[in-house]
Amino acid sequence: MQNKYPPTDQQKLSPLKIVSLAGLAIGAIGLVCILAFLIFPDPLVNMFIKPRIIEAFAEAYPAYAIRIGNMNYSVLKNRFGFDSVTLNAVDSTFSGNMGPFSMRGIDWIQLLWGGSLAPDDFAGTVVDAQDIELNFRQAQYKLRCRLLRVSVPDSEIVVDTLTLHPLSDDEQFFAGSKFRKTRFRLIVPYARLMGFAGLGLLQGKIYRTRSAKIHDAFLEVLINKDKPNNEETSSPLMPNQILSSIKETLQVDSLNIMNGRLNYGERFAVGSKPALITFDSMHVLAEGIANQGDPGAALVIYVQGNFMKAATMNVQMSIPCTSPEFSFQYSGSLSRMDLSALNPFLEKAEKISIKGGVLQAATFAINIDSGRASGDVRIVYNDLNFALINQDTGSDKDFFDVIASFIGSTIKIRGTNVPDKSGSLKIGEVNYTRKQDDPFLGFTWFALRSGVGDVVGF
């Protein structure tokens, strides 16, 4: 039967109208999605984006497992936030976690649509991380940082309250090996790096910083000399080796440490108090830190500090940056001091207690060539008076007291070393060769101590 009312042109949908209606529908759906993302971004981020991040990380770093807490996103600030991030090595040699963590200033839309980010896309990036904790179980150390802020547009990195210390106490740390070890503790309350090349860092080509300033840092070094050296282990890395081991270009124009402290200790029995050398109120300026450059390029370090809370010490070092050999030079001076201030070290390390004596002045100049130290130490002092300490009882009683006790014996102690009428005095000869387990600071002290011993007669 024929249709009584055939369709008119007005009732037909033209292709243009179909496309228009489809566009409106897609636009409406897109608008709804955008509104949903603006109003409820966090559920969508946790549902779709977080799994993608975890999956991409697992593919790139299969030796590690990552766990991410709740994520959040601020459209107005263009900032992604994470409540927490936990990272663990599959072999359990490393674990790390951090608290609130955020990144802003990145073109996330491009990334979400399947695009990739180039280093230039991070030019406006600012990263804030809190409560960072890294556990290096193989090395037995833990690193903590309360706050880390990296701002690429400001070319600035700020570190607040960073600490590095063993995972256990000293006894457990040293008991873990039958050989001698060196234990470090580091506290950096505040540090700021300015003028760093953020985009070069992202490209992995150059690590460059115009200046770094560290406030109130404290470094403690302790060696357990109650155990033998391990002849089979590799030696601690020296500055030139550390610089040359970095494949990328490293350059720090200046490093400034203000009001720093350094404690160097040697322990000679389990649970005993260590022989201790201290530096307080230290000002350290290092210039020319680099791993590439002319053969004559050198890292120059200036140090001034309070030595053993009794005298002012000045030290200058020059360390070739690109030399494959452990070679450098250092020199310095020490002001007037009461020599009994050295007892916290001498009583434990040398079994000697100074009863009297005054240092008028001291200077030293030492050269190290392939691990062998030579040079001279000039010490002007008078009325040195000391006693030997009984190694079994720890007492200096009933032992030969003062210098006269050693006259004519195999050990010749010089109680006074002042210029004679001609202006000459005994000059100490530095003669020390680096031992396999000597760390840099320990070697520097041992070389200087050899010259002091040559003057005094130890």
Q: Is 414's pLDDT higher than 90?
A: no
How many C-alpha atoms does 350 have within 13 Å on its Cβ side?
20
> What tokens were used for 223?
């060696």
pLDDT band of residue 121 (cuts 50, 70, 90) is: low
List pLDDT tens digits, range 257-279. Answer: 999 999 999 999 888 899 999 99
pLDDT score, position 329: 95
Segment 113-127 shows an average pLDDT of: 68
pLDDT band of residue 292 (cuts 50, 70, 90) is: confident
- Provide the percentage of residues in the chain whose pLDDT is more than 90: 42
More confident residue, 47 or 414: 414
List pLDDT tens digits, range 150-202. Answer: 998 888 999 999 999 999 999 999 998 888 888 999 999 999 999 887 766 66
Task: Work out the mean pLDDT of the chain and round it to a whole number.
Answer: 82
pLDDT band of residue 408 (cuts 50, 70, 90) is: very low
Segment 136-150 shows an average pLDDT of: 93
Give a three-class secondary structure readout of the chain. CCCCCCCCCCCCCCHHHHHHHHHHHHHHHHHHHHHHHHHCHHHHHHHHHHHHHHHHHHHHCCCEEEEECCEEEECCCCEEEECCEEEEECCCCEEEEECCEEEECCCHHHHHCCCCCCHHHHCCCEEEEEEEEEEECCCCEEEEEEEEEEECCCCEEEEEEEEEEECCCHHHHHHCCCCCCEEEEEEEEEEEEECCCHHHHHHCCEEEEEEEEEECCEEEEEEECCCCCCCCCCCCCCHHHHHHHCCCEEEEEEEEEEEEEEEEEEECCCCCCCEEEEEEEEEEEEEEEECCCCCCCEEEEEEEEEECCCEEEEEEEEEECCCCCCCEEEEEEECCEEHHHHHHHHHHHCCEEEEEEEEEEEEEEEEEECCEEEEEEEEEEEEEEEEECCCCCCCCCCCCECHHHHCCCCCCCCCCECCCCCCCCCEEEEEEECCCCCCHHHHHHHHHHHHHHHHHCC
Asked whether the beta carbons of 73 and 43 are under 8 A apart, the reply is no
pLDDT band of residue 146 (cuts 50, 70, 90) is: very high
Segment 3-27 shows an average pLDDT of: 52
Whether the full predicted model's pTM is greater than 0.85, yes or no, is: no
Residues forming beta bridges with residue 369, ordered by sequence position: 372
- Provide the percentage of residues in the chain whose pLDDT is more than 70: 81
